[in-house]
Amino acid sequence: MIFALFRLPWYGSPAWNFAREIVLGYNALVFFYVIFVDLTYLAFTFIALIEVRRYLRTRDKERLEQIFRSRLVPPISILCPAYNEGATIVDSVRSLLRLKYSQHEVVVVNDGSKDNTLASLIEAFRMEKLEFEYETTVPSKPVRALYASPGYPKLIVVDKENGGKADALNAGINASRYPLFCTVDADAILEEDALLHVVRPMLDRPTFVPITGGIIRAANGCRVVKGRVEAVGLPRKPIELFQIVEYMRAFLCGRTAQSALNVMLIVSGAFGLFHKATAKTVGGYSSDTVGEDKELVVKIVRYLKENKREYEILFVPQTVCWTEVPASWQTLGRQRNRWHRGMFEVLYKHRAMFFNRAYGRAGIIGMPYFLLIEALGPLVELSGYILLPLAALLGLLAPINAIVYTLCAVVLGIILSVSAVLLEEASFHRYPRWRELALLNLIAVVENFGYRQLTLWWRLRGTWDYLRGNKQWGAQVRQGFGTPVVAPAAKTG
Amino acid sequence: MVPSLLSLEHVLEGLEIALFVLLLGMFAMRSLRVRRAEIAARARDWMVEKMLPLFDGDAEQRCEGRKVFINDQLVVELPPPRGLWGDAIREVFADHLVFITGDLRNRFVNVLEEAGYISAVMRGLKSRNVETRIKTCMLLGAMHSRLAVPALIEVFGDDPDPFVRIGAAEALGAIGSEVAVAPLLAALRNPTRWQQVRVAEVLSHMGMTAVSALTEAVEDPDIRIAALALDILADIGWMSDFAPAERALKHESPEVRARAAAALGRGGAMNSITALFAAATDAAWFVRVRVMKALHALGAPAHLGLNERYFAVLDAGLHDDVWWVRRHAAEALADNGEPGRAVLGRAMIERVGSAARRAAVSALQRHVLLSASRLAGAAISSPA
Amino acid sequence: MPDKPRAKPRVVVADDDNDIRRLVQITVANAGCDVTSAPDGESALQAVREVMPDLVILDVLMPRMDGWEVAKELKRDPKTAGIPIMFLTSKGQENDVLEGFEVGGADYVVKPFSPRELQARVRSVLAKR
């Protein structure tokens, strides 16, 4: 090999040749894997394009509003867990109370905050402690008190001891009155008509729809006044810009297509609408995982399949909420690490579903997809990034070959990112200025040189942390919501 | 095993071209869209400006084809109903028709009819695309023109797609044509709840026109229809005859029984209150909940001399096994003056921690809170 | 045109929908009033404090501050507490109507509305003063 930098003494020996075959074979495998993954996403984008266009053609905003003023649509309880949100909680609650819907209530769960969350709510809405009789059907930490306001009959505040997000949501489920509940992060900014759009599939489909979700976008760079996005814009920092394109890929392309194929297994914790009775039957949220939102969805799917019930989990290609994404590399890294750990926990806990005919598409396509493409992706791809140069360096592969491999993968990645921007442009065009379009495209190109690899690295770290945590201690330090809580080891899957 | 370098280079080249085409396409799409939006916005502004004289209710309006005269003065000549301008003009009118009624609506509809906009839209009913047909039905419904009624009836009868048929029914209902009631009721048999809600909404907007047909539908053998008819009647809050709903309280399906109770409550069927008393011991808890709610809505039947029975039924509700029933019974008691609160008072001296006591405490607190807020509101709004 | 009082009554109209706001504005102006319009709750509040009108017409669902909040704010301030408020609500919102009266609304108009009806109601509210 003329390009080889080293000429090692054992070069050309049979063992060497064997090793060479192995490494080259692995490299080819990684290459095909990456191409396969990208083509899958590309197919998703294509399906999503068709779906979104179809959705937009039949959308009719005015009528929707009119219809949903009808008392015949099911009322919704909005569950909003809050931990140390004193600065923003009052504005958030005000905007939640203002949502367009015929009948809804807002249940704020104060998860043992250490700041003035509860006090500011009591003051702003003139809330009073209330004796309130309700049934406890899903487990949660003790509730200290319930508050209601004479001036705001739609609002209930549950004050409970700290127990993490899942626990807070369970307390909210207990205290809520209505047959559907919608989970909302305290810092998420909802679109006014979010409930109208996401509830529609629950009524519109002949099959049972236990869960629906919608598009979540990054709020960074938008002008937000009093819990409402007034003007859409782009942030300055690259880290935030990258995430905007990333969210487009994930929600606009990924979720829309997964929903069309009925293999959806993820509904974001920041916004999701659930059928309460079903969620209660499966025992509500589990406190022993950092991926409680994903876990509940899988649990419900599993329960429905085990009871031979037909269902659809649907994603509405309609922006429902905006969320502030991390603006520092450290926070972002931690977030991705946590998400990835959560995914592994869910996959492990429900491993019985893999390739199990009894679980239908979720078992045959959904779960394997999450394991092979989402969960193991970082491991395979990053190993390729290391092995390919190494192979070239050791003279196993012509460097030009290595470069072309990499370029193919990268250009395909760029096409993928650009298609996501294209999908946005062909459907919602929320970013009206030319400069913004150019910037989004630039970001779509640039994110393939560094940012994507970095997220892969964080997710790999997540994989590692999961494996370590599970085997050695059987318990993990949760960073998800509020203060770290050590989950009891006994409960882990 | 490893793809050859040469073929890979071709692949790479192809990918690059694809990327270039994508980017070019995106920017081309953007320029096209921006341009169309500009034209539409201009057309819209123009129309809005020209429309202002039409708002004056006292002036006399006359149309000749696309020309509109106000007090015999030509105020506007509409562009033909096609192309970007035509679409924009149609949108302006459709947007206004959502929130206006009365004279002004008739005027707008008249302008649209005379200028040929309605017949232009109606062509969409013959489209091959299902979504276009649905959209056209919606648009015609929003435009409120009687010109479209025969075509919509035809679509309702003949269209192969159920979604289009229901769209046509809905449009007929929105136009307010009496002929629509029968098709709409038939459409209630549709499988999805969403469409039922839509039809129901149209029917309840039609109000009195639909009442007698709905009252008949209560005795439909299909329970879904019966239940929905009851729901809609409850929504309208008026029934020509309470007997069908009373009979529905004894229906075999608990769903229907529950809705019947709700309908009687919302409809203010004070004379049916004894039927509700009987239903308060229903086997299904959600029927009992609805009965308690209905009793709450009706209030104590003082003039019928049934007060004692009324409070006894609510007292039993307060001691129900299901908290939801207890809660509604307690709220009904709290809102029913001294005798009601006396029942709650008796529950309060029961064993600490008993379910009835908790429900009573909860309802009384709520009652005190709400009445306090009303007093406060009144104190604020009376000028200082 | 109706017989004009000494000075034209002043009215503030707030609605976030341009078309509705324009129609209400013109209709009320045709009833012989001076109209100031506002696209959201906050600017409505500001306009009321500046103009000190004889009547406020508020849409219920508005960005930044909804109709109820504006009304509560107006009633809290003794200077503006006496100004009658009229709400624009959507059909079928019975609760809205009740809530409207609870916060001290003088009247309400249900969408879709007829401009003639709106004029009549505006006149009757103004006459009560």
Distance of residue B146 Cα from the nearest chain A Cα, in angstroms: 20
Query: Model confidence at B183, in pLDDT bands (50, 70, 90)?
Result: confident
Q: Among all chains, which residue has been given the structure tokens 């209150």?
A: B273
Return d(Cα A96, Cα A100) in angstroms, integer: 9
- Asked if A65 lies within 8 A of C91 by C-beta distance, the reply is no
Which two tokens mark B278?
């009987």
The closest alpha carbon to A216, from A179, A167, A254, belongs to A254
Query: Model confidence at A168, in pLDDT bands (50, 70, 90)?
Result: very high
Query: Model confidence at A408, in pLDDT bands (50, 70, 90)?
Result: confident
Q: Which of A57, A148, A411 sits opposite B16 (nearest CB)?
A: A411
The closest alpha carbon to C13, from C81, C5, C33, belongs to C33
Return d(Cα C81, Cα B383) in angstroms, integer: 6
Q: Residues of B numbered 79-98 whose beta carbons fall under 8 angstroms of chain C's beta carbons: which are they?
A: 92, 95-96, 98
pLDDT for residue B356 is more than 50: yes
List Cβ neighbours of C68 (8 Å cut-off, separation of 6 or more): C60, C99, C100, C103
CB of A71 within 8 Å of a chain C CB? The answer is yes
Query: Model confidence at B373, in pLDDT bands (50, 70, 90)?
Result: low
CB of C113 within 8 Å of a chain B CB? The answer is yes
Distance of residue A79 Cα from the nearest chain C Cα, in angstroms: 22
Q: Which of B18, B22, B200 sits opposite A72 (nearest CB)?
A: B200
Q: What angle do CA B332, B335, B341 make, to 5 degrees?
A: 90
**Helix orientation angle between A238-247 and A451-468, rounded to the nearest 10 degrees:** 80
- Span between the terminal Cα atoms of chain C, in Å: 20
- A-C C-beta contacts closer than 8 Å: 23
Distance of residue C37 Cα from the nearest chain B Cα, in angstroms: 16
Query: Model confidence at A489, in pLDDT bands (50, 70, 90)?
Result: very low
Which two tokens mark B293?
């709610």
Q: Which pLDDT belongs to residue B1?
A: 43
Mean pLDDT score, A95-119: 90
Q: Which pLDDT belongs to residue A135?
A: 72
pLDDT for residue C39 is more than 60: yes
Average per-residue pLDDT for chain B: 82
- B-C C-beta contacts closer than 8 Å: 69
- Asked if B26 lies within 8 A of A70 by C-beta distance, the reply is no
- Considering only CB atoms, which chain B residues are within 8 Å of C23? 55, 96, 99-100
CB of C92 within 8 Å of a chain A CB? The answer is yes
Return d(Cα A268, Cα A291) in angstroms, integer: 10
Which two tokens mark A386?
């290391």
If one compares A247 and A393, the residue with the highest pLDDT of the two is: A247
List Cβ neighbours of A250 (8 Å cut-off, separation of 6 or more): none
CB-side neighbour CA atoms (13 Å) of B90: 22
CA distances from A3 to A27, A399, B7, B165, C42 (A): 18, 7, 21, 71, 71
With b for 16 or more beta-carbon neighbours within 10 A and e for fewer, the B211-241 pattern comes to bebbbebbebeeebbbbbbbbbbbbbeebee
Q: Which pLDDT belongs to residue A492?
A: 30
Q: Which pLDDT belongs to residue B383?
A: 41
- Indicate left, alpha or beta for A84 from its phi (over 0: left) and psi (-120 to 50: alpha): left
Distance of residue A437 Cα from the nearest chain B Cα, in angstroms: 8
As a residue count, chain B comes to 384
Q: Among all chains, which residue has been given the structure tokens 């009304």?
A: C71
Query: Model confidence at A7, in pLDDT bands (50, 70, 90)?
Result: low
In this structure, the strands spanning A155-160 and A128-130 are: unpaired
If one compares A229 and C96, the residue with the highest pLDDT of the two is: A229
Q: Where is B231: in which H helix or E strand? A: helix B223-236
In eight-state DSSP terms, residue B155 is: H
Return d(Cα B22, Cα A31) in angstroms, integer: 24
Return d(Cα B277, Cα B300) in angstroms, integer: 12
As a residue count, chain C comes to 129
- Asked if B1 lies within 8 A of A25 by C-beta distance, the reply is yes
In eight-state DSSP terms, residue B54 is: G
Which two tokens mark C53?
């009108």
The closest alpha carbon to B316, from B359, B349, B273, B275, belongs to B359
- Asked if A57 lies within 8 A of B131 by C-beta distance, the reply is yes
Mean pLDDT score, B178-188: 73
Q: What are phi and psi of A51, to 5 degrees?
A: -60, -45
CB of C97 within 8 Å of a chain B CB? The answer is no
Query: Model confidence at A69, in pLDDT bands (50, 70, 90)?
Result: low
Q: Which pLDDT belongs to residue C98?
A: 65
Q: What angle do CA B172, B173, B175 make, to 5 degrees?
A: 65
Distance of residue A193 Cα from the nearest chain C Cα, in angstroms: 11
Return d(Cα A204, Cα B196) in angstroms, integer: 9
Return d(Cα A381, Cα A372) in angstroms, integer: 12
Q: Among all chains, which residue has been given the structure tokens 């910037």?
A: A439
- How many of the other CB atoms lie within 10 Å of CB of C3? 5
Range of weakest confidence among A369-373, A383-387, B187-191, C49-53: B187-191
CB of B380 within 8 Å of a chain C CB? The answer is yes
- How many of the other CB atoms lie within 10 Å of CB of B136? 26
Q: Which of B58, B205, B381 sits opposite C104 (nearest CB)?
A: B381
Which two tokens mark A149?
């306001």
Find, in chain B, the residue whose alpha carbon is nearest to that of A21: B1
Query: Model confidence at A16, in pLDDT bands (50, 70, 90)?
Result: confident
User: Which of C95, C97, C98, C111 would you mutate first to test chain A, the one with the most A CBs within 10 A?
Assistant: C95
Return d(Cα B236, Cα B266) in angstroms, integer: 9
CB of C128 within 8 Å of a chain B CB? The answer is no
Query: Model confidence at A435, in pLDDT bands (50, 70, 90)?
Result: very high
- Considering only CB atoms, which chain B residues are within 8 Å of A441? 23, 26
Average per-residue pLDDT for chain A: 84
User: Which of C24, C26, C35 would you mutate first to test chain B, the one with the most B CBs within 10 A?
Assistant: C26
pLDDT for residue A471 is more than 50: no
Mean pLDDT score, A52-62: 75
Q: pLDDT for A201-216, tens place per residue?
A: 888 777 889 999 999 9
CB of C111 within 8 Å of a chain A CB? The answer is no
CB of A225 within 8 Å of a chain C CB? The answer is yes
Mean pLDDT score, A439-448: 93
- How many of the other CB atoms lie within 10 Å of CB of A124? 15
Contacts 24+ apart (CB under 8 A), A237-240: A237/A327, A238/A443, A238/A446, A238/A451, A239/A326, A239/A327, A239/A328, A239/A329, A239/A332, A240/A325, A240/A327
If one compares A266 and A460, the residue with the highest pLDDT of the two is: A460
Q: Which of A71, A100, A226 sits opposite C64 (nearest CB)?
A: A226
pLDDT for residue B309 is more than 70: yes
Q: What are phi and psi of A429, to 5 degrees?
A: 35, 65
Distance of residue C51 Cα from the nearest chain A Cα, in angstroms: 25
- Asked if A204 lies within 8 A of B200 by C-beta distance, the reply is no
- Return the partners of chain B (3 or more C-beta pairs < 8 Å): A, C
Query: Model confidence at B200, in pLDDT bands (50, 70, 90)?
Result: confident
- A-B C-beta contacts closer than 8 Å: 124
pLDDT for residue A372 is more than 80: yes
Predicted structure pTM score: 0.81
Query: Model confidence at A184, in pLDDT bands (50, 70, 90)?
Result: very high
Mean pLDDT score, A43-71: 77
Query: Model confidence at C1, in pLDDT bands (50, 70, 90)?
Result: very low
Q: Which pLDDT belongs to residue A279?
A: 94
Q: What are phi and psi of A187, to 5 degrees?
A: -95, 5
Mean pLDDT score, C11-19: 91
Q: pLDDT for B46-93, tens place per residue?
A: 998 888 888 887 788 888 888 888 888 888 888 888 888 998 999 889
Q: Which pLDDT belongs to residue B5?
A: 59
| Side chain identity, residue A59 | R
pLDDT for residue A78 is more than 50: yes
Query: Model confidence at A70, in pLDDT bands (50, 70, 90)?
Result: low
The closest alpha carbon to C68, from B279, B64, C76, B157, belongs to C76
DSSP secondary structure of A323-357:
EPPP-SHHHHHHHHHHHHHHHHHHHHHTGGGTT-G
Q: pLDDT for B264-293, tens place per residue?
A: 887 777 888 888 898 888 888 889 988 998
Query: Model confidence at A167, in pLDDT bands (50, 70, 90)?
Result: very high
Percent of chain B with pLDDT over 90: 13
Which two tokens mark A103?
């009948």
Q: Which pLDDT belongs to residue B153?
A: 87
Q: Residues of B numbered 288-347 whose beta carbons fall under 8 angstroms of chain C's beta carbons: which are they?
A: none
Return d(Cα B14, Cα A40) in angstroms, integer: 18
- Asked if A98 lies within 8 A of C92 by C-beta distance, the reply is no
- Return the partners of chain A (3 or more C-beta pairs < 8 Å): B, C
Distance of residue B304 Cα from the nearest chain A Cα, in angstroms: 31
CB of B354 within 8 Å of a chain A CB? The answer is no
